[in-house]
Amino acid sequence: MNIYIQAAAQISAQEPLSHAWFQHPLPLSERYVRSVEPDYKEYINPMEARRMGKILKRALATSLNVVRKTGINQPDAIITGTGLGCIENTEKFLTAMVRDKEMYLQPTYFMQSTHNTISSQIALHLKCNKYNTTYAQRGISFESSLLDAYMQFELEKIRTALVAGYDEMTPDYFVLLDKINYWKKGEVNEAILRKSDSVGAISGEASACFMLENKKSNLSVCELKGIDILYNPNQKRIKDALEELLGKHNLCIEDIDVVMTGINGDKDNDAVYNELERNLFPSIPLAWYKHLVGESFTASGLAMFISTMALQEQVLPASYLYNGSSAIQGLKNILIYNHFQNKEHSFILLSSC
Amino acid sequence: MMSERILVTGMGIISGLGYGKQATLDALCSKHSGIGKMKYLQTIHNYYPVSEVPMSDAEMMDSLGISSQTIITRTPLLGIMALKEAFIEAYLDKERPRRIAFINGTTVGGMEKSEQYYPDFQNTEAYIAAHDCGTSCEAIAEYFDGFDMITTISTACSSAANAIILGANLLKTGRVDVAIVGGTECLSKFHLNGFSTLMILDKEACKPFDAKRVGLNLGEGAAYLVLEKEQHAKQRGVQPICILSGYANTCDAYHQTASSPDGQGAYLAMHNALEDAHLHPHDIDYINAHGTGTQNNDLSEGTAIMRVFNDNIPPVSSTKSFTGHTTSAAGSVESIISILALLHNFIPANLNFNNPMPELSFCPVKDTLTKKMQHVLTNSFGFGGNDSACIFSKID
C-alpha cells in the first residue's frame, strides 16, 4: 500500500494559500500571531462568508483549493483534526449566555459551535455523503485524522482522503491561556525562542489541508509512509515504535534526513526534544517551524505542509534549521516529531516520490 | 478474505437509569424511565425534564477514591465510572495487554465548569486547561494509567459510535491489542440553552416516532466497550460478550443541524453497515433507533429505515425515551442497550408512543417484547449530518 500527498494548502501567519513564502518565511516578533486571511471570494460566496467564523472560511478555502488542484471533488473520507473546534462561535454563545443569564439567546452561534461543523461544512459544499469525522485530542488532533485515513487506506476502505488540521485563537481565549502560561511573556524573537529558558510559546493559528490518494500521478508531491501516536511513552517505547515504523519500509533511523520538531521556545516543551535528540537522533539535523507559524493544537499540520514543500523542492532552507546553518539539499525522508506536554507524542514519516 | 472477528469483551455504563449494566437492564425491563425533574444542573430553564445520572460529582469522586482537591469535570468523572465497570468485566484490572487504545467521544469537554467560571475564571484558573475535549480523555486515561494511545472523536451526537469504528479499524490493522471505545458527556447549560434556542426540547417526556412528538429531552451519561480480536480474547481467557459485525460512517451533507427529508445519510449508514457485516436487511432482529423525538430526526430516520428494510422492517424502538439524549455518549450507551437486548432476547419499549406517524409504514415497539435475536443494529446521528450505524451479533 502507498499513500501519496497529491496537493496541500495552508493558511497561517505566512502568505495564505501559497507556498511562495517557503524559501523565505517571515520571522515572527509578537506573542500572539493571527493568520493572514486570503481573499475568500474565489472560494466562498461573500454573502455566505459573512455568516461564517474565521475557522470555517479558512477550512473551506484550503479544502476547495486542494479539491480544485486534484479534481477529486468526492473524496472517500473527509477527516478534520481541531483541538478547539469553532472556539469563536462557542465563545459568542457562551458569552451571551453568561452575560444575559440564559435569556434572549439565538441559535446561530450554537449551530456552528461544534467541532464537527468544519468537516460537515466541507461535505455540505462538496455534497459528499462519504466517511466524515473529526478529532479533538489537543496536540495530536491532526495526527489522529491522519492515522484514521492511513488505516482506511490500509484496509482498502478508501482510495482518496481529504485530511486537515484547523485551529483558530480568539483574543479572549488567548488571554485565558496566557493566565496559565501557555504564551511567552514580553518580547519574542527567534533568538529568545532558541534559548528555551522560560515558559510559553508564540500563540499561532493553523489551517493545513491535504488531499491523499493511493495512486501515484504527476500531481504527487511526496509519499506518506507512516504515522503513529503514543500516549505517555518512555524513551524505549518511542524508540520501538519508531523502529517498527521505519522497519516496515526497510529504513533505519540513519536514513532520516531531518527531524522536523515542535520546538517552540518553552523550556519544558523543548527539553523533551533535546532528550530525544540525545537518545534517538544524535547525528540527524533538527528542524523547527513554530518560530514561524506559532504554537497551536494543530500546528503539526503546518509542519507537514512545510515538509511536503521541502520534499518537492528538494531543499530545506536554513530558516527552518534548529541546529546547523546551511540549507539541506537532496531530501529523501523527513520525520515530523511532535509532542504535547510530554503526554501525547506523534510522528509522521514523509518520503520523496 | 474474512478478517478475524472483533469481539466485545467488556461493557460499562452510567446514565439516568443508574450505574451499571444490571441497573440499566432492570430499568429497561420494568419500563422505568430515567427522565424526570432536574436535580443537579443549575439553570433558569429547570422546567425541562432531563435524564440525570443520580450522583453528584462529590459522590462519584468519593466512590472512585479521587481526592476532592483534584481538578476534574463531570464529563470525565462519568467516563471513569463507566470505564471501571468495563475494565473489570474484561479482566483489564488484572492483566494489561501491552497496547491498549482509548478512544473517547465528547463534544463540549469541560464546558460544565467553563460556563460557571466564565469569562475570567477568577480563582479557578486550573479549569481553563480542562475546557477542551482532549483534557477529558486525558483525565480518564490518567485514572486508569497504562494506555498506549488515546484520542478524542468529536462528531457531536455520533461521537461514541465513531469511536467504536476507529477502535475496530485499529484492531483490524493490528496496531493495538485492545481498544476501549465509547463516549461521555454531562449535562451543561451550554447544551441545554443551545438545544432550547433550536426549539427542539420537549417540556414533557419525549415521544420518539409519535405523530405528536415535539422534541427531545437531554440526558447525560457515559458508556464504553472493550473490543479485541477473537484470538486475543481467547488467549487472555476473557469471556466474549458478542461480535461487532459491521459498521459504517456516512455524511448526510444536507444541512448543518437538520436531517434530509429522504434520510440519505441515515440510509447509507445502515446500508453500508449491513454490507460491512455481510448481512441482509432481513437478518436484523432489532433496530435501536437514533429516535431523538424531534419532528425532523424521526421523519428522516423513519424514511431511511423504510428505504433500507422495505416490507421487512424489524422491531424498532428509541431508548432515548429512557435515557434522554446522552449526546456524545449516545452511540455507546445505545450500543450497550442494544447488546443487552441481544443477550437477553428482548426488545426495549419505545416509551410514550401513542400516535402513529402518517408518513411511516411502521410503528415503534410500545411494550417490551420477548424475541429470540441474532443481530441488532443501532443508529447514531449527529449535527452536521455525521451519521453512523453499528451492528452487533450473538456469538454462535
CATH of the domain at B306: 3.40.47.10
Q: C-alpha grid cell for residue B16?
A: 439516568
Measure the CA–CA gap between A144 and B172, rounded to whole angstroms.
17
Same domain, residue pair B101 and B62: yes
Q: Are residues B59 and B134 in the same domain?
A: yes
Question: Which of B173, B256, B264 lies at the smallest CB-CB distance from A129?
Answer: B264
Rounded Cα distance between B369 and A110, Å, is 39
Interchain proximity A138–B134, CB inside 8 Å: yes
B111 contact residues in A (CB cutoff 8 A):
94
For B5-33, b where at least 16 C-beta lie within 10 A, e where not — what string?
A: ebbbbbbbbbbbbbbbbebbbebbeeeeb
CB-CB neighbors (< 8 A) of B143 in chain A: none
At B396 the pLDDT is: 82
* Alpha carbon of residue A319 to chain centroid: 19
> Same structural domain for residues B169 and B80?
yes
B47 CB within 8 Å of a chain A CB: no
Identify whether residues B152 and B295 lie together within a single domain. no
Residues 6 or more apart from B244 whose CB is under 8 A from it? B6, B7, B8, B164, B168, B225, B227, B390, B391, B392
Main-chain phi, psi angles of A343, to 5 degrees? -105, -70
The answer to whether the CB of B317 falls within 8 A of the CB of B301 is no
CB contact under 8 A, A83 and B132: yes
The answer to whether residues B158 and B251 belong to one domain is no
Using a CB-CB cut-off of 8 Å, the residues of chain A touching B155 are: 115-116, 119, 132-134
Q: Which of residues 75-94 of B touch A (CB under 8 A)?
A: none
Q: How many CB pairs under 8 A join A and B?
A: 194
Q: Which residue of A has its CA nearest to B196?
A: A107
Q: Does B211 share its domain with B337?
A: no
Q: Tell me the residues of chain B between 190 and 209 that have a Cβ less than 8 Å away from chain A.
A: 190, 193-194, 196-198
On whether residue B241 sits in a domain, the answer given is no
Give 10-residue mean pLDDT values along chain B (396 residues). 85 98 98 97 98 97 97 97 98 93 96 95 94 97 96 98 98 98 98 97 98 98 98 97 98 94 98 98 98 98 98 97 98 98 98 98 97 98 96 95
> Which of A82, A132, A14 minimizes the C-alpha distance to B383?
A132
Give me the residues of B, 342-371, that contact A with CB < 8 A.
none
Cβ contact, residue pair A107, B45, below 8 Å: no
Q: Note whether B77 and B204 are same-domain residues.
A: yes
Instruction: Decide if A102 and B148 are in contact by the 8 Å CB cutoff.
Output: no
Closest residue in chain B to residue A227, using alpha carbons only? B175
ipTM value greater than 0.95: yes
Find which of B42, B98, B197 to mutate to test the A interface (most A CBs within 10 Å of its CB). B197
| Nearest CB to B44 within list A85, A102, A134 | A102
In this structure, is residue B379 part of a structural domain? yes
The cell for A255 is: 536514513
Residue B1 covered by a domain: no
Q: Does B349 share its domain with B388?
A: yes
Q: Strands B369-370 and B346-347: what pairing?
A: antiparallel
- Last-in-domain residue among B193, B208, B236: B236
User: What are the two backbone dihedrals, phi and then psi, of residue B265, each rounded to the nearest 5 degrees?
Assistant: -65, -45
Nearest to B199 by CA among B323, B36, B45: B45
pLDDT at residue A324, rounded to an integer: 82
Q: Which domain holds residue B198?
A: 6-236
Q: Do domains A4-213 and A223-351 have the same CATH topology?
A: yes
The model's pLDDT over A200-237, given as tens digits with 9 standing for 90+, comes to: 999 999 999 999 999 999 999 999 999 999 999 999 99
Tell me if A115 and B132 make a contact (CB, 8 A cut-off).
no
Listed in order, strand segments (DSSP E) in A262-314 are 286-287
Quick one: pLDDT at residue B1?
45
The answer to the question of residue B111 being in a domain is yes
Q: Does B170 touch chain A (CB under 8 A)?
A: yes
Fold of A4-213: Peroxisomal Thiolase; Chain A, domain 1 (3.40.47)
Distance from CA of B128 to the nearest CA of A (A): 7
pLDDT at A325: 83
- The radius of gyration of chain B's CA atoms, rounded to the nearest angstrom, is 19
Beta-carbon separation of B386 and A136 below 8 A: no
CB contact under 8 A, A124 and B156: no
Reported as type and span, the H/E element at residue A208 is: strand A206-213
Q: Do residues A148 and B169 touch, judged by C-beta distance below 8 A?
A: yes
Inter-chain residue contact B154 with A151, CB threshold 8 Å: no
The verdict on a CB contact (< 8 Å) between B193 and A102 is yes
Please list every residue in chain A whose beta carbon sits closer than 8 Å to the beta carbon of residue B184: none
Q: Do A229 and B264 touch (CB under 8 A)?
A: no
* Residue in B closest to A110 by C-alpha: B194
Residue B284 falls inside a structural domain: yes
CATH of A223-351, one of 3.40.50.2300, 3.40.50.10190, 3.40.47.10, 3.40.50.720: 3.40.47.10
* CB atoms near residue A42 (< 10 Å): 11
Spell out the per-residue pLDDT of chain A, length 353, in tens: 999 999 999 999 999 999 999 999 999 999 999 999 999 999 999 999 998 999 999 999 999 999 999 999 999 999 999 999 999 999 999 999 999 999 999 999 999 999 999 999 999 999 999 999 999 999 999 999 999 999 999 999 999 999 999 999 999 999 999 999 999 999 999 999 999 999 999 999 999 999 999 999 999 999 999 999 999 999 999 999 999 999 999 999 999 999 999 999 999 999 999 999 999 999 999 999 999 999 999 999 999 999 999 999 999 999 999 998 899 999 999 999 999 999 999 999 999 99
User: Is A124's CB within 8 Å of B264's CB?
Assistant: no
B-interface mutation test, from A74, A112, A129, A162, most B Cβ less than 10 A away: A129
- Torsion, CA A237, CA A240, CA A241, CA A244, rounded to 10: -170
Same domain, residue pair B181 and B285: no
| Each residue's pLDDT tens digit, A264-297 | 999 999 999 999 999 999 999 999 999 999 999 9
Task: Identify whether residues B147 and B18 lie together within a single domain.
Answer: yes
Q: Specify if B302 maps to a domain.
A: yes
Distance (Å) from the alpha carbon of A199 to chain B's nearest alpha carbon: 16
pTM of the model: 0.98
Is B251 in Cβ contact with A128 (below 8 Å)? yes
Strands B242-251, B6-15: pairing kind:
antiparallel
Task: Write down which residue in B236, B270, B293 finishes a domain.
Answer: B236
Q: Which residue of A has its CA nearest to B46?
A: A102
Residues from chain B that touch A140, judged by Cβ atoms under 8 A, are 151
Query: Is any Cβ of chain A less than 8 angstroms from the Cβ of B281?
Result: no
In this structure, are B191 and B122 located in the same domain?
yes
Which among A113, A133, A155 is the nearest to B155, CB-wise?
A133
> What is the chain B residue with the closest CA to A245?
B175
Q: Residue B2's pLDDT is what?
A: 57
Omega before B119 cis (within 30°)?
yes
What amino acid is encoded at B290 in this protein? H
Domain ranges of chain A: 4-213, 223-351
How many domains, in total, are found in chain B? 2
Indicate the residue among B236, B264, B290 that finishes a domain: B236
A301 to each of A131, A164, B86, how far by Cα in Å?
Answer: 21, 7, 35
Please, are residues A125 and A162 in contact by the beta-carbon 8 Å criterion? Answer: no
Residue in A closest to B328 by C-alpha? A114
CB A281 within 8 A of CB A256: yes
- Catalytic amino acids of B? 157, 290, 325
